[in-house]
Amino acid sequence: MYAIEATGLYKRYGEVIAVNGIDLAVKQGEIFGMLGPNGAGKTTTTEMLVGLRQPDAGVVKILSMDPKKEGAAIKARIGVQLQTSALFNHLTVRETLVLMASFFPRCRPVDELLNLVDLQEKANVQTRHLSGGQQQRLQVALAMVNDGDLLFLDEPTTGLDPQARRRLWDIIEKMREEGKTVFLTTHYMEEAEKLCDRVAVIDHGQIIALGSPDELIAAHFGETAIELPAFSGLDDHMLAQLAGVSHIQRQNSQVTLYSTAVPATVGALLELAQKLGVSLENLMIRRATLEDVFLKLTGRRIRE
Amino acid sequence: MKAYLLLVLANIREFSRDLMTLFWFLAFPLIFILLFGAIFSGNGDLEFQVGLAVEDQGPAAAGIAEAMKAVPIFQITQGDREAMLAALKEGKLRAVIVLPEDLSAAMMVGQRVDLPVYYDAAQQTSREIVLSVMKDMTAELDRRLTGRPQLIGIQAEPIQAGRKMRDIDYLLPGILSMSLMQLGLFGTFNFVSMRQRKVFKRFGATPLPKWTLLAAEITVRLMIAVIQTLVIVFVGRLVFDVQMVGNWAVLIALVMLGATVFVSMGYMIAGFAKTEDGVQGIIQTVQFPMMFLSGIFFPVEFMPAFLRPVMTAMPLSYLGDLLRQEMVGASAMHSLAVNLGVLGGFTLVSLALAVRFFRWE
């Protein structure tokens, strides 16, 4: 059973191809992430899936229903949080939830929602007085107002401070416990790694990698990353010669060596540094992440 | 139905909790009434500052002075001739009348006396009115003194089409028309702003039908229109004694019609323009000429002939005509059929275009 099935999704705006042939199959109960930089086509994909935009080509099925024929039935069973959508400024949190609930045939009790997103104390505050994180939690509560089976969250944590982001992660974890299917987009790789069962890495409107975070890392890296400052005086040629180094990436102020044999590589590196009298401060050895996957696939970092 | 009612409620809350919007829709017409009312509420009466120099101590001069003070349009200031003439030259007086030294004595012996009347030659109206009042008065005095019976007189019988109209009577329905126009046009501005902030986009992903949102929007506009009408009519009554002569039910129906015309026009404009700034530009170009050229503040006779065709092209003219008839009993400019036909036609065309070009984001 798939909650979302899409094949050959395609959308262009004038000269710009926003989404260039995307296939998706999101299982029920799964938290599925779409990870990519700004402008990769995440929002356009989301808006086509929820029925706010018509794809130029491609087929979509949501909860096994056809949006063209059963649009209203689908809308009653999905919850949507849009990246750019604003609220009625002068309504209180509770009034906003009650209003949104009235659009649906079935809905969750407002107090339960307030509890879920931890906004009980702000229930009677006008939305314009909420902080960014509180507004975002309200948006997520609005997406859950109809107790839908499938939730679309478009960059739910963008622009939030780390603490506010963690609180939203907790809410999304609760959705998992409730057995909801969640489709979320993000450009934070740690968010995708922490929350998502599976991740589609998207760039220039195409999926360039798909799998669980661990699978993706394992598939693209048998290696471990060794980071050192770019200004260390060691050039790429020397570094590439070191034992165990499979390839290197130079990014702004930082060089990353990907090594299949960390002890050998580090030993050789220290030897080289000593010989040339180079300081190796800020040397760091870490496991490869989705960021490395993206870097390897596109030659760019997700956020630049 | 629940969604409709809650949307209406949400709109009312959004409106009533926003002080700036409240100010625009309620205080602005009020300021307009008070300002225009203060300027025009003199009942159209004329008043002339007239200086009087009494140089004669006799009983005749005292009698004439009393008679002059009794003239309602004269505000008499008394003083000596030099001071009065100086005031006339400074523009503080419109005319100076002198009752010369030998007045009583001359009249006793039946000798003709001419009363000097000084006036500002540049002030044509003052000259005409002051001189003719003085001529009337002296003729009447003359007649009484000589004991000649008056053979021909006049009986003043004011006849006016409809009720007696003061400026403020004409103005008040105009202000109401203007408020309805601004409510419709600028109300849409708010809608566009919310559309641009993507408040409605989110609704597009719910089962809410589009027409429910639109119906709620229009309902709230019409409610505000009725409240505005009540405020304007009551302030007109309390402050300027403008009586509502028509039928309340008819007036409210006309207000609804007027609001619908301009709300539809507003949504049509909202469909044409993409951004808040674009909408504001179009609205200003539509509403500004309409405010001053549609004849809601000045009767058609005051307009230069070349502007009159412009006036007949503006829906506000027809609404103003209808409201003037119903509120203060003014005489009709157009027949009822023409008024309703034009307003109905404007509504249908702009609604059709509004629906055609409607966008949710």
Convert the pLDDT of each residue in A133-160 to its tens digit.
899 999 999 999 999 999 999 999 888 8
Within the 93-112 window of chain B, which residues sit less than 8 Å (CB to CB) from chain A?
Answer: none
Q: Does B143 touch chain A (CB under 8 A)?
A: no
Residue that wins the pLDDT comparison between B164 and A302: A302
In chain A, residues with a C-beta closer than 8 Å to the C-beta of B208 are: 103
CB atoms inside a 10 Å sphere around CB A219: 11
pLDDT, tens digit, for every residue of B238-266?
A: 888 888 888 889 999 999 999 999 988 98
The nearest CA of chain B is from the CA of A50 a distance in Å of 6
Q: Across residues A168-194, what is the average pLDDT? A: 91
Interface test with A, best of B22, B197, B206 (most A CBs within 10 A): B206
pLDDT tier, A304 (very low <50, low <70, confident <90, very high otherwise)? low
Q: Does B206 touch chain A (CB under 8 A)?
A: yes
Residue A39: left if φ>0, alpha if ψ -120 to 50, beta else—which one? left
Q: What pTM was estimated for this model as a whole? A: 0.72
The nearest CA of chain B is from the CA of A201 a distance in Å of 25
Q: Does B158 touch chain A (CB under 8 A)?
A: no
| pLDDT for position B41 | 60
- For A90, the closest chain B residue by CA position comes to B14
pLDDT reading at B162 higher than 70: no
The reply to whether residue A99 touches residue B206, judged by beta carbons under 8 angstroms, is no
| pLDDT for position B24 | 72
Task: Reduce the secondary structure of chain A to three states and give it as a string.
Answer: CEEEEEEEEEEEECCEEEEEEEEEEEECCCEEEEECCCCCCHHHHHHHHCCCCCCCEEEEEECCECHHHHHHHHHHHEEEECCCCCCCCCCEHHHHHHHHHCCCCCCCCHHHHHHHCCCHHHCCCEHHHCCHHHHHHHHHHHHCCCCCCEEEEECCCCCCCHHHHHHHHHHHHHHHHCCCEEEEEECCHHHHHHHCCEEEEEECCEEEEEECHHHHHHHHCCCEEEEEEHHHCCCHHHHHHCCCEEEEEEECCEEEEEECCHHHHHHHHHHHHHHHCCCCCCCEEEECCHHHHHHHHHCCCCCC
Q: In what order do the strands lie in the sheet with A57-62?
A: A16-27, A2-13, A57-62
Across chain B, what does the average pLDDT equal? Answer: 83
The reply to whether residue B13 touches residue A91, judged by beta carbons under 8 angstroms, is yes
Across chain A, what does the average pLDDT equal? Answer: 89
Tell me B70's DSSP state: T
| pLDDT for position B40 | 67
The reply to whether residue A95 touches residue B13, judged by beta carbons under 8 angstroms, is yes
Q: Does B198 touch chain A (CB under 8 A)?
A: yes
Q: Which token pair is A34?
A: 């779409």
The reply to whether residue B207 touches residue A85, judged by beta carbons under 8 angstroms, is no
pLDDT, tens digit, for every residue of B313-361?
A: 889 999 999 998 888 887 788 888 999 999 999 999 988 888 778 777 7
The reply to whether residue A126 touches residue B6, judged by beta carbons under 8 angstroms, is no
pLDDT tier, B158 (very low <50, low <70, confident <90, very high otherwise)? low
Q: Which among B13, B197, B204 is the nearest to A86, CB-wise?
A: B197
Q: Does B150 touch chain A (CB under 8 A)?
A: no
How far, in Å, CA of A19 to CA of A48, rounded?
10
pLDDT, tens digit, for every residue of A206-222?
A: 999 999 988 888 888 77
DSSP string, B110-162: T---PPPEEE-TT-HHHHHHHHHHHHHHHHHHHHHHHTPPP----------SS
pLDDT reading at A13 higher than 80: yes
Report CA A58 to chain centroid distance, whole Å. Answer: 23
Q: Which token pair is B255?
A: 């207000």
Tell me B198's DSSP state: T
pLDDT, tens digit, for every residue of B86-119?
A: 888 888 888 888 888 888 888 878 788 888 888 8
Q: Across residues B1-15, what is the average pLDDT? A: 90
| pLDDT for position B232 | 86
Task: Give me the interface pTM, i.e. the ipTM.
Answer: 0.79
Interface test with B, best of A83, A96, A103 (most B CBs within 10 A): A103
Q: Which token pair is A79?
A: 């919850």
Q: Across residues A112-127, what is the average pLDDT? A: 93
